[in-house]
A and B are shown apart, each in its own frame.
Chain A
Amino acid sequence: MIAGWALKLTAIAVLFFLITPIIAILPLSVNDSEFFTYPMRGFTWRWYSAVANSDKWQIAIKNSFIIGVPATLIATILGTLAAIGLQIADFRGKGFITALLLSPLIVPIVIVAVGLYFFFAPLGLTQTYIGLIFAHAALGAPFVVVTVSASLRSFDRNLSRAGASLGAPPYLVFRRIMLPLVRPGIISGALFAFATSFDEVVIVLLLGAPHQRTIPREMFSGLRDSFNPTIAAVATLLTLLAVILLLVAEWLRQRTARRN
């Protein structure tokens, strides 16, 4: 019994360790002081207006979307097609191909960044949006393959057979039968891919031009040189976004789980 209580207390302490740092930075973004010290000095929105009025952060936010959205689109489309391909038939070398398609999940980012730095330079792709978009799409695609595969595993093949036997051509079977059922998998994969691009800093550090700084890249510099409360304001906004993405992803997961 005592052991049970000890375990519970340990678990709650660890949860506290996980969550506190994320919450601790939020009040500092509305604290009326240049310095990161508690206790609070008074309430202010000025750090948020500083972010809203700063060219630096405007450019960073724009860049994050200019890179993140196309990268997510590429990753989602190619990842979904590949997941369906891996699902519908067995072919020689499928295990190896699967491992290869998922390898960006596990290869250290610094290796990817250095590899692209060498490889993209002669092609004129370093310091371009295209290069960054391609790199981020490569990192995001495996997430889509995994989530779409998971939602396809529960897909009843007889449904598409029934559609085909009723005379629907393959693209119609896909659009009207398969797509609605795997949509949650596609969307959550896209969320993962977007979150990956939105938080990626090493590739942007090595391959990005100065005018291509993204939000995390700008934060990286800020944390190293001039750590001031505007960073706390940006951090708060990013955390809110994370909460929203997480809740959507969880809702999709539970919807899929209920269906199976």
Chain B
Amino acid sequence: MTATTLESTIAADTGAALRFITCGSVDDGKSTLIGRLLVDSKTVLQDQLAGVQRGGETDLALLTDGLSAEREQGITIDVAYRYFATAKRKFIIGDAPGHEQYTRNMVTAASSADAAVVLVDATKLGWAAEVTDGEVVKGELLAQTRRHTLLCHLLRVQSIVFAVNKLDAITDAELAFERISNALNAFAASAGVQVAAIVPISALKGWNVVSAHEGWCGYQGPALLDLLEGLPVTAQDEAVPFAFPVQWVEKFSSSSDTSQGRRVFWGRVASGHVEPGQQVTVMPSGQSATVAQVLGHTRQSKTVHAGHSAGIVLDRELDVSRGDWLLAPGAFTPVREITATVAWLDDEPLVPGRVYWALQGHRWVKAKVARIVDRVDIATLEARPADQLEANAIGDVVLALQQPLAVLPFTRSRTLGSLVLVDTATHKTAAAVLVRPAAA
């Protein structure tokens, strides 16, 4: 990219950056794809490119594997965040590791992503052998392809794009692409995953990455980068009633202050919006108040919508502290027990009866695993009974809460529907918790 096109980018304000992750199985070419995006969009600077020359060849994967342990082993252990811009948009990439062992790092990257590019290595699939009469394709996708897709879907990553890589290494690339697409579509349909696009690419050669490789594999669609330029950023949960987790309480010592000694409750609006005159209920105390003032960063009074920080001043002195919630009256019923899907991330397995710390918004409560409902079989997507959830497993559990929490299904509200579990002994983050809709 030339300076001039970037200047027009800035002048036009391209809006919020698209945060996307690359994921999929080991060696499917994620790091190479990112290297290709960075090099072909001219984001990589000369000294960085000089650092990835090995024996006269450019190894694009070395642009992202930044830890010495990663270079030693030739694998990606943790997420690398990369930044680049085109004339149309800014991007933040999370390059997620493929190994099952590092699923927790992939989930970390997915939790803040607007979109996911799931890499599929065409050379690793038994697509050719599976064909009997030219029609039947048994979807032999790799377990990590399924796991990562499912996790992105569960975490509500808005757009999921499959990039079928290394097709340049296959003689009948068109047939391979067709059959792998069928397998991906079949899997997505059974998992309830909406697919934004399936693109044949060669990360190594740069085909269909930054610029389209006309008609290759019978594909007539846009190159991956063109697709990414058009994907939406995550919409806020605005249709949900007002909910506001109190992050920080600002106390004024001087009564001569304009707020007349009142406290300002700062936080980020989780859902709905807030404006003066609105009634709120404080959770967990259940007290009611009216919003007297709403402050933005400039400390000017305004209406603040979901996703943005606000300072709220109430019309009366109430006991409100960090971790409490200000909620639309009557819209939420606090519960003491929730059923949730968990992605188990700790090496120590989840077992029924154990007590963990749970964090929702800014509130910490104790949560006991009352029972494990089931565990998802990644290969078949069937729910199977389970005694425990090992690292990287996905399953449903019932959590008993020490104090009531106002929750909504994660599918309705990201903030009210998400929690993390933290091991009380090691303080490790053990699980991503997604609240399920209450059983009818």
| Bound pair (A, B) | no
B-binding residues in A (CB < 8 A) = none
